[in-house]
Amino acid sequence: MNLNYPIKFLKVFLKQTSLSAIILGNCVIYTVNVEFNKDFLTIKENQITVGIKSRPIKGEANKEIIKKLARHFKISTSLIQIKTGQRSKQKIIEIQN
């Protein structure tokens, strides 16, 4: 169930409330920070930080982020979608149940 909240609303809500995750129906919206030339995934106080080795060329970095998150949450990569930040170090992602 994709509730299709406007991305602008989600960005403002996450920023103003200092939350890093929102549960909407059967999906969870997270903010994710990316660090390059590193290899890790940490979740501290509902903040996800991902270190990746891939270069941000032709979507390779985004693919690595999705694979790492899928592996961590033990779900299929098809259940994870980058909603905003395709070309940014700060992303909003949606994970479906």
Query: How many Cα atoms sit within 13 Å of 20 on the Cβ side?
Result: 13
The alpha helices in 1-97, defined as continuous H runs, are 7-17, 60-73
Residue position matching structure tokens 């994970």? 95
In this structure, which topology does domain 7-96 adopt according to CATH?
A: Conserved Hypothetical Protein Mth637; Chain: A; (3.30.1200)
- pLDDT tier at 5, thresholds 50, 70, 90: low
From residue 1, alpha-carbon distances to 4, 5, 10 in Å are 9, 12, 17
- pLDDT higher than threshold 60 for residue 16: no
- List pLDDT tens digits, range 68-90: 999 999 999 999 999 989 999 99
For residue 39 the two structure tokens come to: 């290899």
- pLDDT tier at 15, thresholds 50, 70, 90: low
Contact 41, 72 (CB under 8 A): yes
- List pLDDT tens digits, range 46-64: 679 999 999 889 999 999 9
- pLDDT higher than threshold 50 for residue 18: yes
